[in-house]
Chains A and B, each alone.
Chain A
Amino acid sequence: MAVIEAIQTTYLEADVATVEFDISSSPGNTYEHLQLRMNAATDSTYASGVYRDFCKVFFNTSTATTNSDYAWHAMYGRASTASASKGASQHYIYIPHCAGTSRGVAYFGTTVVDILDYRNGSKNTTTSSLNGSLGPGTGSGELSVGFSSGLWDNVAAVTKVLLVPDLGSNWRRGSEFTLYGIQE
């Protein structure tokens, strides 16, 4: 068996509200770790002060839930400002500034999310994410790069990964999401 295998690619041919990976069966449930790679944009309408879009990550559900068992930390650079933020008792893991918007349709954001030891049924799930998104403008709403962590405070094995845009209603056509499995 290969060390790193592609489990599934979702390449959007039309706008969709959510993207889901079901890894409850083989081959999705046969790996030690997961890596999610995204090149995505949403239909968020640009307005002054609005930033490149975020991704909300939910586990083990096909619809957005309001369980307050997630947490996240992020550090990022936006134009000339370096900063950090956090969220505890959240409804989802936030991946900030990782997606394009409707301003500059050829600009898509980049994200690499590592989801470690996801099949373990006795440990909470921790993620790390490297991400960024540049738009056509020059302000802090248009340029960003960051590194973030996420926690799902639940010991269940991860069987689904649900990705929902934050500001936008839909992931835009052309967005690409691939989930990889990493063997021990």
Chain B
Amino acid sequence: MADPAYIVDGVLTDGEAWVGIAHASLSLPAAVCTFTSTNDGQTGDFSQYMDFVLVYYGRTDRVSTSDAMKVTVNNDTTNGNYSMQRLYGYGGAASANATTSHGYHFGELECPAANSPANVFAAGVIHCFDVNSGKYKSNVLTSASDGWNTGGNAADNGWVHLQENTWKSQAPITELDITPAYGTNLVAGSKFDLFGILPRMVA
């Protein structure tokens, strides 16, 4: 019998520290992209991971040049339960602002919308930390969106964000929902990949 992949020359090897939990590639518009823990001890069970990394490539159908996608944790839609600080480039300026009641919840992901040039999507990576702990849950994310140079505000050509977000709850994360902030649907072609990041506890 052949050895399984995790045994090489008789030695038990480490598995990948980044585990692909789920992948959503929209072939049709969708109002929400949901990642939910399977709670079954398998790959989709959120409880075994230290961190999450969510990689996204998205756009919405809002009738405007731009929109944002927001990330909601465990169906908690109370803005006051989320805080945010961002450093961003918009037009030709660098700016910053913050709020302790964040309407975009666990992440404001700027993106092109219906009046943007075709086939332009936003890209970003969200690092969520210690998702099963008793701490408030925080992430740091990068968000990049560009290309809508027709119409609207002359400065409204794109955004780049560096963002810190905190969900002020000590519950473990069991669900993440990505929805348009103003549009109705995430458009076909949008992609979302959720990775679970494993620790290595050494005695």
Known contacts A82-B96, A145-B87, A145-B162; is-contact A2 B200 (Cβ 8 Å): no
A window 76-112: CB within 8 A of B: 76-82, 106-112
Q: Which of A76, A143, A147, A178 contacts B83 (CB 8 A)?
A: A143
Please encode chain A, from 95 to 135, with 1 for each CB lying within 8 Å of some chain B CB and 0 for all others: 00000000000111111100000000000000000111110
Chain A interface SS verdict (over half): strand
B interface residues, tally (CB under 8 Å): 45
A22 to chain B, nearest CB (A): 11
Check B83–A146 contact: CB distance below 8 A: no
Closest chain-A Cβ to B136's Cβ sits at a distance in Å of 4
Q: Which among A4, A7, A143 is the interface contact of B18 at CB below 8 angstroms? A: A4
A46: CB under 8 A from chain B? Answer: no
Residue of A nearest to B198 (CB): A6
Is the Cβ of B96 less than 8 Å from the Cβ of A9? no
**B17 contacts chain A at the CB level, 8 A cutoff:** yes
**Is A78 in contact with B85, judged by CB distance below 8 angstroms?**
yes
Chain A interface category by residue count: 35 or more
Q: Please state if B96 and A80 are interface contacts (CB–CB under 8 Å).
A: yes
Instruction: Write out the residue numbers on chain B whose beta carbons fall within 8 Å of the beta carbon of A44.
Output: none
Which B residues are CB-close (under 8 A) to A80?
A: 95-98
A157 within 8 A of B: no
Q: How far is the CB of B16 from chain A (nearest CB, A)?
A: 4
The answer on a CB contact under 8 Å between B17 and A180 is yes
Q: What residues of chain A lie closer than 8 Å to B166, measured between beta carbons? A: 107, 134
Query: Considering only CB atoms, which chain A residue lies closest to B100 in the complex?
Result: A138
- List of A residues within 8 angstroms of B127 by Cβ: 37, 110, 112, 130
Q: B15: CB under 8 A from chain A?
A: yes
